[in-house]
Amino acid sequence: MSPPPSERAELIRIVHRIMTGDYTSEEKVDRLVADFQAAVPHPRATGLIFWPRDEFDHDPTPEEVVDRAPLPRDRTLSDSLGE
């Protein structure tokens, strides 16, 4: 099941920041990675970003990464991020 559009957009923003290096410190990227891992059920969530060739036959877009790792039906991004 895909996340609601606003949550999908937030996950895409997180993945985009990680993939493009849009962070100011290792602590910031660690937090982004932790947020993504907490929000998605995929067993190799970070692998979708850092080692995409294990799951894709091309370099995926942030949208493709998010679509490969949808939220479980009973969770929301806010739940995953502890908000």
pLDDT in tens, 19-52: 999 999 999 999 999 999 988 888 888 999 999 9
Measured CA to CA, the distance from residue 56 to residue 27 in angstroms comes to: 28
- The reported pLDDT for the residue numbered 82 is 52
- The reported pLDDT for the residue numbered 73 is 46
Identify whether 31 is part of a domain. yes
Q: For residue 20, give its domain range.
A: 5-72
- Say if CB 3 and CB 63 are below 8 A apart: no
Across the chain, what does the average pLDDT equal?
84
Of residues 2 and 52, the one with the higher pLDDT is: 52
Question: Hey, what are 72's tokens?
Answer: 């479980």
Q: How many domains does the chain have?
A: 1
- The reported pLDDT for the residue numbered 22 is 94
Identify whether 19 is part of a domain. yes
Buried residues in 49-70 as b, exposed as e (16+ CB within 10 A) = beebeeeeeeebebebbbbbbe
pLDDT at residue 3 is higher than 70: no
